[in-house]
Amino acid sequence: MNFRIFLSTIALTLMLFTVAAFAADSSSAQSSTPQATTANGYQPKWWKEGIVYQVYPRSFKDSNGDGIGDLKGITSKLDYIQGIGVNVIWLSPHYDSPNADNGYDIRDYRKVMAEFGTMADFDELLKGVKQRHMRLILDLVVNHSSDEHAWFAESRKSKDNPYRDYYIWRPAKDGHEPNNWVSFFSGPAWKLDPATNEYYLHLFAEKQPDLNWDNRRVRAEVYDLMKFWLDKGVDGFRMDVIPFISKREGLPDLPPDYRMRPHYFYAMGPHLHEYLQEMNREVLSKYDLMTVGEAFGVTLDQTPTLVDERRNELNMIFNFDVVRLNRDGRQWRDSTLPEMKAIYTTQNKALDVHSWNTIFLSNHDNPRVVSTFGDDSPAFRVPSAKLLATMLLTLKGTPFIYQGDELGMTNYPFTRIEQFDDIEVKNGWKADVLTGKVKAGDYIANLRKTSRDHSRTPMQWDSSPQAGFSTAAQPWLAVNPNYKDINASQELGDPNSIYSYFSKMSRFREKTPALVYGDYEDLDPENAKIFAYTRTLGKDKYLVVLNFSKDAVAYNLPGGLKAGALQISNLATGEEETPVLNLKGWEARVYKQ
Ligand code: ISL
Ligand code: CA
């Protein structure tokens, strides 16, 4: 070795030594021990272990008798929410809004909707959540704003207004809309604005103009408003239709095969990843957050590109394959259990240790879970709601419970168009029924299965008038007539209620790492009645057996597998372990093997 090489080797060794010492120092400054991964390689995170409860404020609890749920109402029910065993609350939009789409059309992102209360009420709510060691995530609706937002009021004034480029304006093309895009709420996605004689884009209602994310000033505004709420101490965001924020270059026409499923064309635009990474750099990475994107129009193979932790975009997304299993476009269809199982298997294969899933069966845009995936007839409503709770809380992914599902609330028996509030329903009526394209009877029959309003009827608190939701003679949307039989006050006092079962299941999940992080395996994919799967973490293995039918089934576990020790069941059987499991209709069991 010549002398120069010898010297530089010493220098290099010294340098490496210093770097290593520095690295050790800085990591110990952050946390005393680096967090160990689970036996199967996951980084533990609070948002992977959490159970989320979605509150739709308008329908939750009315504190002042105006017929509309409000923030004080939610604060008064925090113990009830905690009693379900959840530890994160997702609040649907609570911002100032003219309510063309119940708050998903925001007029002022920094103001509380007057109907819901004041900023002081919001601060009280957040304080109450924190006192109970729970967390609060907000709805971030930034693909579009309200047309009553100050930005849009400016933008529409003139072509050279400084806010013009906050939205997406185009001149007419051959006397028509700039392209053939359709709105999710019927009709074209463009509206001609007389002030400048140009069209603006609205993928949803006319009162929901799409923001122009290609404008860096728009992005900066969004990051600022996010920080406004995060600095108050909220713990993250559910991001409304976030895959739509980047529009396709040149706004090309919808190809014919996308007309019935335009969301797959609008989603995943060319700059989506760039904008999410920027948002992550500018905002998300500075806080300890939960982020979940409403990934309407995202396919499973695209999912890892949004949630792989090494890419620094989102923590999780909602994939709609299961909740939309019963739809062909907007029409109801009967799905099968093997179809549902196939989706979960594909999801689990698509996501590796760097990604994380969500599990949800309903929300404010879907019908009630027990009426859709269970059986809401008197004989089976309770066991089937508990079976669905068992599934929700033992599949792999962060579970989201929609308000009222913990009580087994059911679909509303709609018979007339006047009973609906939803803009999607009203616009569809005008576009399809009043034009004679669809018969009124067929339209209502379909809505009885699919309408978003099923989930939006008021929470059923007790058997007093208006189910204890409000002292008003008429709440904004009618209470389900079954509230005398299905309500919280009855369920809270009953150890065998659906509410009590949720509570028990949630706590069981919380103390069982295998149910959070364990590998998932479907044991019997083709079985049309039984859903049987295992969750395995190191030496811990749990078996879940669900009878998705009202029939009794004598079930032989595949491959001579033994069930193990019964941990939880929705029907108290206490049966001894045998090679055959004698399952009653809608029975659910969890075993430790
Ligand atoms: O019911 C739907 C329309 O057919 C849903 O597909 C829904 O519009 C879609 O999932 C996007 O939902 C979100 O954005 C909408 C809002 O109406 C929904 O309530 C919200 O969850 C526009 O902000
Ligand atoms: Ca109120």
> pLDDT tens for residues 392-438?
999 999 999 999 999 999 999 999 999 999 999 999 999 999 999 99
* pLDDT at residue 44, rounded to an integer: 97
Please report the atom of ligand 1 found closest to the CA of residue 364.
19
Give me the residue label for tokens 């509030």.
421
Please report the atom of ligand 1 found closest to the CA of residue 144.
23
Q: 101, 121, 235, 294: which one is catalytic? A: 294
Q: What percent of the chain has pLDDT over 70?
A: 94
pLDDT-derived band of residue 574, with 50, 70 and 90 as boundaries?
Answer: low
Residues 292 and 358 sit within 8 Å (Cβ to Cβ): yes
31 Cα–ligand 2 center, Å: 45
Q: Is the pLDDT of residue 10 over 90?
A: no
CA 337 to centroid of chain Cα atoms: 22
Compute the C-alpha angle 520/522/528, nearest 5°.
150
Q: In DSSP terms, which residues pair with 537 in a beta bridge?
A: 540
* pLDDT at residue 22, rounded to an integer: 35
Q: Residues 549-564, buried b or exposed e (16+ Cβ, 10 A)?
A: beeebebebeeeeebe
pLDDT-derived band of residue 33, with 50, 70 and 90 as boundaries?
Answer: low
Q: Is the pLDDT of residue 578 over 90?
A: no
Mutational pocket test of ligand 1: of 104, 242, 292, the residue with most ligand atoms within 8 Å of the beta carbon: 104
pLDDT-derived band of residue 330, with 50, 70 and 90 as boundaries?
Answer: confident
- Nearest bound ligand to the CA of residue 74: 2
Lookup: tokens for 374: 């269970």
365 Cα–ligand 1 center, Å: 6
Instruction: Quote the CA–CA distance of 14 and 222 in Å, as a whole number.
Output: 46
pLDDT-derived band of residue 87, with 50, 70 and 90 as boundaries?
Answer: very high
174 Cα–ligand 1 center, Å: 31
Q: Is the pLDDT of residue 517 over 50?
A: yes
* pLDDT at residue 168, rounded to an integer: 98
* pLDDT at residue 35, rounded to an integer: 72
Rounded to 10 deg, the angle between the 381-392 and 498-510 helix axes is: 20
* pLDDT at residue 3, rounded to an integer: 40
Mutational pocket test of ligand 1: of 107, 184, 328, the residue with most ligand atoms within 8 Å of the beta carbon: 184
Q: 62, 139, 240, 313: which one is catalytic? A: 240
- Nearest bound ligand to the CA of residue 102: 1
437 Cα–ligand 2 center, Å: 39
- Nearest bound ligand to the CA of residue 76: 2
pLDDT-derived band of residue 18, with 50, 70 and 90 as boundaries?
Answer: very low
Instruction: Quote the CA–CA distance of 162 and 264 in Å, as a whole number.
Output: 32
Q: Please say if 240 is a catalytic residue.
A: yes
- The model's pTM is 0.94
Q: Is the pLDDT of residue 15 over 70?
A: no
> In order of start, what are the domains of the chain with their CATH numbers?
1-41 (no CATH), 42-144+215-507 (3.20.20.80), 150-201 (3.90.400.10), 516-592 (2.60.40.1180)
Q: Ligand 1: list residues with CB < 6 Å.
A: 101, 104, 141, 184, 204, 240-241, 294, 296, 364-365, 424, 452
Please report the atom of ligand 1 found closest to the CA of residue 366.
1
User: Which amino acid belongs to residue 472?
Assistant: A
155 Cα–ligand 2 center, Å: 33
For 429-476, what is each residue's pLDDT tens digit?
999 999 999 999 999 999 999 999 999 999 999 999 999 999 999 999
Eight-class DSSP state of 182: B
Instruction: Quote the CA–CA distance of 311 and 303 in Å, as a whole number.
Output: 12
Question: At 522, which helix (H) or strand (E)?
Answer: strand 519-522
Q: Which residues contact 191 (CB under 8 A, 6 or more apart)?
A: 199, 200, 202, 206
- Nearest bound ligand to the CA of residue 71: 2
Give mean pLDDT, residues 150-160: 98
Give mean pLDDT, residues 528-542: 98
Q: How many CB atoms lie within 10 A of CB 108?
A: 16
* pLDDT at residue 34, rounded to an integer: 57
Between 360 and 26, where is the model more confident? 360
Compute the C-alpha angle 360/548/506, nearest 5°.
45
250 Cα–ligand 1 center, Å: 25
* pLDDT at residue 560, rounded to an integer: 84
